[in-house]
Amino acid sequence: MAGSGLMNPDLSVVLDVAVAYFGPRGQPIGTGAHDPSRNGFNFQQLEVAIGSSVDPYFRLDAFLVFSEHGVEVEEAFGTTLALPARLQLRAGRFLHRFGRVNATHPHGWSFVDQNLLVGRLFGPEGGGGLGVELSWLSPLPWWLELSATSMTASGAASARSFFGGRDLGVRDPRDLLHVVTVKQFFALDDDWSLLTGVSAALGPNATGRANRTDIVGLDGYLRYRPTRGAAQNAWTLQVEIAHRRRQIPRDVLADWNGYAQLVWQWGRPWAAAARWEYGSSVRGLDGQPVEDPLDPDWTADRHRGAVALTHWPTEFSRIRLQATSDFPAWLDAPRLALFCALELVTGAHGAHAF
């Protein structure tokens, strides 16, 4: 019966809560909408995911997020299942595929909080919007996927480097946000694998319809998992760097952002992780630091480091301890934070991406 999949969709619920302590000098300057934000108990989010094949041609997935501030549709999109020529189309509201982390939800992260690159460039909810995406999986001997996305360029929480909270409307395709990605996977040998990516996000910004924002990024994910001996152990190194260029009246602003993180998982239920992040000051055409209209307090380089210890009692629960030290150069001392986060999952939650 066509559409019978909707009568029995896959359903899962993910709860994220945390206890936080911020040092005596105040809170770190977080960028994520669901980051712990105050001393004591924090309700990060409750995510409800619903998905099913509608018929032989389409699949529907929806993610609803409940927080202390209300309910939002994080993603809701349809995906084709039967296009020819190794093509796939996705349409609706979704997170675009720029880089490694942007398209993932908090329960897919290796740390409690959102990284600075995603929050600074795209917004506290990650980069996304209403649009359409076409992807193509090549027939080459190695895994190579190309994707092209066109979507709304507005949203203070999801497109802050573009129209952001000031929607100037759409008169032609130049008023949309366009995201292009190239992803390649290589099985280096039985134990080592590598995933690389190149991404570009191009669109208008709110300082004037003729002014543009261009973000270009590189990312890499190197994984070592022995197939013999201590097969329960794995090491992963993930790196991402992005350059942003924005036209504004009488100037062009540029900055760099990036992070590197190393994760060691042993004995299946344990993992230790370390992350270093960097966000440069914003510079004008003359190469001198200038005030950023999006982040007026971000007047110098910023570094942030974090270490985390994670334990999975089962595949349906996770406990994570994290310590963070934030070094914005415009402050006289670093800001410190400690988190203890609990995640509980129930239902038919799908596997996370590689």
The per-residue pLDDT for range 110-132, each reduced to its tens digit, is 999 999 999 999 999 999 999 99
What's this model's pTM, rounded to 2 decimal places?
0.93
* Mean pLDDT computed over 328-333: 89
Each domain of the chain, given as residue ranges in start order, spans 79-312+322-332
What is the average pLDDT value for the chain, to the nearest integer?
93
- Looking at residue 127, what DSSP letter applies? S
Q: Are the CB atoms for 73 and 64 separated by under 8 Å?
A: yes
Which pairs with CB-CB distance under 8 Å and at least 24 residues apart come from 266-270? 266/230, 266/232, 266/233, 267/232, 267/233, 268/232, 268/312, 269/311, 269/312, 269/313, 270/309, 270/310, 270/311, 270/312
The percentage of residues in the chain with a pLDDT greater than 90, rounded to a whole number, is: 84
Strand blocks (E) in 249-301: 251-266, 270-279
* Mean pLDDT computed over 307-315: 96
pLDDT in the model for residue 244: 98
Q: CA separation (Å) from 53 to 44, 78, 81, 316? A: 30, 9, 9, 24
Each residue's pLDDT tens digit, 216-243:
999 999 999 988 765 678 999 999 999 9
Residue 200: name the closest of 165, 245, 168 by CA: 245
Name every residue whose Cβ is closer than 8 Å to that of residue 245 and which is 6 or more positions away in sequence: 213, 214, 215, 252, 253, 254
The percentage of residues in the chain with a pLDDT greater than 70, rounded to a whole number, is: 95
- Looking at residue 120, what DSSP letter applies? H
Residue whose token pair is 């952001």: 164
> Taking 60 as the threshold, does the pLDDT of residue 201 lie above it?
yes
Distance (Å, whole) CA 336 – CA 323: 8
* Mean pLDDT computed over 70-98: 97
Distance (Å, whole) CA 301 – CA 152: 31
